[in-house]
């Protein structure tokens, strides 16, 4: 035993190294997805022709295109006015937050997570989402949605009325949406990737300390 390592310690180290490599390979392939709708509140998305999931690998991390209007454009000028009222406003940071909100809201809607939705939606928008969730529950249906990829987040429109700012974002994503009945049969959607384009409008009172931009409306692009 002197001058060497116990054989069991060597074997343990080899097993540990193998597990680390396996874990690293799995994490390296993961691009992140969430959400579960199939039947959504009106205007939650417009589907393009479905593509088989196995034929559409997710794009590399960081491949999301973020479109910010030219500062000289009408929308760019409104964004400048928003920044004049709130110097902390940054369009790039706003789009990053919009992506996070999109993922959270879509996932919360599919899961029936009313608390999360209440914190991220205006009262009117929440009423629409909550009504759809209640109808789904009464029908005994379950919804599952996976966001396989987000390809595009672009600021399409902006408005400023006093200190109330509205910003509309065009969101293009690949999703899997499946709604199942009590007996497990599929009532809507399919196990296939579908490209969905949404226009989501976020609103915030720039003079209120709460920095949350709440969703006030959704419609298909």
The domains located in the chain, with CATH, are 34-220 (3.10.450.240)
Q: Which residue has the higher pLDDT, 73 or 189?
A: 73
> Can you give the pTM of this predicted structure?
0.71
Q: What is the DSSP letter of 51?
A: B
Backbone angles phi, psi at 114, to 5 degrees: -65, -35
pLDDT at 23 over 50: no
In the prediction, which pLDDT does 22 show? Answer: 33
pLDDT at 10 over 90: no
In the prediction, which pLDDT does 60 show? Answer: 52
pLDDT at 133 over 50: yes
Give dist(CA 30, CA 148) in Å, integer: 10
pLDDT at 9 over 90: no
Q: Tell me the mean pLDDT in the region 96-114.
A: 95
Task: Write out the DSSP string of 117-142.
Answer: HHHHB-HHHHHHHHHHHHHHHHTT-E
Show the tokens assigned to 130. Answer: 């909550």
Burial class of residue 38 in the structure, from the number of CB atoms within 10 Å of its CB (0-12 exposed, 13-18 middle, 19+ buried) = buried
Give dist(CA 117, CA 102) in Å, integer: 11
Paired with 198 in beta bridges are 171, 220
Show the tokens assigned to 135. Answer: 């109808």
- Quote the radius of gyration of the chain (alpha carbons, Å): 22
Q: Tell me the mean pLDDT in the region 199-205.
A: 98
pLDDT at 110 over 60: yes
In the prediction, which pLDDT does 66 show? Answer: 93
In the prediction, which pLDDT does 54 show? Answer: 36
> Per-residue confidence at 58, pLDDT binned at 50, 70, 90?
very low
pLDDT at 188 over 70: yes
Q: What is the rounded average pLDDT for all residues in the chain?
A: 79
pLDDT at 114 over 50: yes
Show the tokens assigned to 212. Answer: 């949350």
> Per-residue confidence at 4, pLDDT binned at 50, 70, 90?
low
Give dist(CA 191, CA 52) in Å, integer: 8
In the prediction, which pLDDT does 62 show? Answer: 53
pLDDT at 3 over 60: no
Q: What is the DSSP letter of 69?
A: -
């Amino acid at each position: 035993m002197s001058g060497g390592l116990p054989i069991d310690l060597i074997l343990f180290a080899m097993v540990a190294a193998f597990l680390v490599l396996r874990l690293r390979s799995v994490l390296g392939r993961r691009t992140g997805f969430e959400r579960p709708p199939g039947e959504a509140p009106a205007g939650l998305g417009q589907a393009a022709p479905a593509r088989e999931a196995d034929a559409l690998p997710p794009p590399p991390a960081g491949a999301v295109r973020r479109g910010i209007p030219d500062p000289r454009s009408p929308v760019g000028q409104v964004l400048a006015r928003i920044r004049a009222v709130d110097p902390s406003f940054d369009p790039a940071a706003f789009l990053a937050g919009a992506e996070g909100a999109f993922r959270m809201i879509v996932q919360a809607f599919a899961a029936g997570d009313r608390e999360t939705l209440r914190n991220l939606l205006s009262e009117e928008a929440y009423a629409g989402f909550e009504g759809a969730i209640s109808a789904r529950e009464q029908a005994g249906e379950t919804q599952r949605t996976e966001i396989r990829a987000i390809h595009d987040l672009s600021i399409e429109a902006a408005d400023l009325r006093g200190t109330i700012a509205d910003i509309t974002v065009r969101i293009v994503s690949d999703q899997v949406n499946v709604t199942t009945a009590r007996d497990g049969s599929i009532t809507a959607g399919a196990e296939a990737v579908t490209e969905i384009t949404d226009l989501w409008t976020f609103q915030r009172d720039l003079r209120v300390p709460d920095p949350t931009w709440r969703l006030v409306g959704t419609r298909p692009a």
